[in-house]
């Protein structure tokens, strides 16, 4: 669809249903789910194991063909966790799997189909061993992990760094660099003299724009009818 054909009231009801679904089905599965955290299609988010912590103002986007999966599966009942900071973006298809622990800082963006793991999930020689070698993963603040990138066990990624699409990160990445490739190598250093804007900064501005955005959305959907919305889904036409 080129545009949203839903009447404004339908869109509002859909959002309320998503909030209800999160609070009723997902929130009890998290050890912590921060305030003002939003989910798009939360019924396509899976939490397997515990504990999983997600901070304030996170955005989690899931789709039917690209579920978001948080998994904690450890050899020891007292070991293993996933901790995600404030203002993070988790896109469709992201998988985060911890046997020891995975810590992700504030303001991070994790793109479609990225995979973060702290374990091999099988021993090299004894392949009946279901976890294998495991080492913590630590991702700093304001890190951007590109589409389909893989971050492997024992890796630390420094603040503000960018991991390119499709990269396989098997060694530490320092702060303020761009790394890409398989295995990932440093391609460029960022200019630390330039001011860095974060998702947290954007949310601060957004909080003052909420009323204005609501008016714009209402105007954008003005004129949409339930009949037209149903027609666009059942009998889509050119230009829809």
DSSP character for 195? Answer: P
Does the pLDDT at position 165 exceed 70? Answer: yes
Residue 12 confidence (pLDDT) above 90: no
Q: Does residue 215 have a pLDDT over 80?
A: no
Flag whether pLDDT at 70 surpasses 80. Answer: yes
pLDDT at 204 over 80: no
- Answer whether residue 236 shows pLDDT above 90: no
Q: What is the mean pLDDT of the chain?
A: 92
- For residue range 144-153, list pLDDT tens digits in order: 999 999 999 9
DSSP string, 81-142: EEEE-TT-EE-TT-EEEESSEEEE-TT-EE-TT-EEESB-SS-SS-TT-SS-SB--EEE-TT
More confident: 175 or 6: 175
Over residues 222-229, the mean pLDDT reads 80
pLDDT at residue 178 above 90? yes
Q: Is 24 among the residues known to form the active site? A: no
* pLDDT average, residue stretch 208-220: 70
Domains of the chain are 30-193 (2.160.10.10)
Q: What is the pLDDT of residue 33?
A: 97
Closest CA to 175 of 136, 200, 131, 140: 140
Residue 1 has pLDDT above 70, yes or no: no
Eight-state DSSP code of residue 99: S
128-163: pLDDT as tens digits:
888 989 999 999 999 999 999 999 999 999 999 999
Q: Tell me the mean pLDDT in the region 152-177.
A: 98
pLDDT in tens, 33-64: 999 999 999 999 999 999 999 999 999 999 99
Q: Which of 24, 44, 122, 208 is catalytic?
A: 122
Please report, to the nearest 10 degrees, the dihedral formed by the alpha carbons of residues 69, 162, 80, 63 taken in order: -10
Q: What is the pLDDT of residue 39?
A: 96
**Can you tell me the mean pLDDT for 111-134?**
92
41 secondary structure, DSSP code: S
- Residues in Cβ contact with 13 at an 8 Å cutoff, skipping those fewer than 6 apart: none
């Amino acid at each position: 669809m080129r545009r949203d054909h839903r009447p404004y009231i339908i869109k509002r009801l859909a959002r309320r249903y998503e909030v209800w679904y999160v609070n009723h089905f997902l929130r009890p599965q998290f050890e912590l789910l921060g305030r003002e955290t939003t989910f798009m299609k939360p019924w396509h988010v899976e939490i397997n194991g515990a504990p999983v912590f997600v901070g304030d103002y996170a955005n989690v986007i899931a789709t039917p063909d690209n579920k978001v999966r948080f998994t904690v599966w450890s050899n020891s009942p007292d070991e293993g966790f996933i901790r995600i900071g404030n203002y993070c973006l988790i896109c469709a298809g992201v998988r985060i799997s911890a046997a020891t622990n995975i810590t992700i800082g504030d303001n991070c963006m994790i793109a479609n189909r990225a995979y973060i793991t702290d374990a091999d999930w099988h021993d090299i020689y004894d392949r009946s061993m279901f976890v294998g070698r495991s080492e913590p993963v630590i991702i700093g603040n304001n890190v951007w992990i590109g589409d389909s990138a893989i971050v492997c066990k024992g890796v630390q990624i420094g603040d503000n760094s960018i991991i390119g699409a499709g990269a396989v990160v098997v060694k530490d990445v320092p702060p303020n660099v761009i790394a890409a490739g398989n295995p990932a190598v440093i391609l460029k250093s960022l200019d630390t003299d330039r001011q860095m804007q974060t998702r947290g900064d954007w949310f601060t501005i957004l909080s003052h724009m909420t009323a204005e955005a609501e008016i714009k959305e209402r105007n954008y959907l003005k004129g949409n009818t339930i009949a037209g919305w149903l027609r666009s889904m059942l009998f889509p036409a050119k230009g829809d």
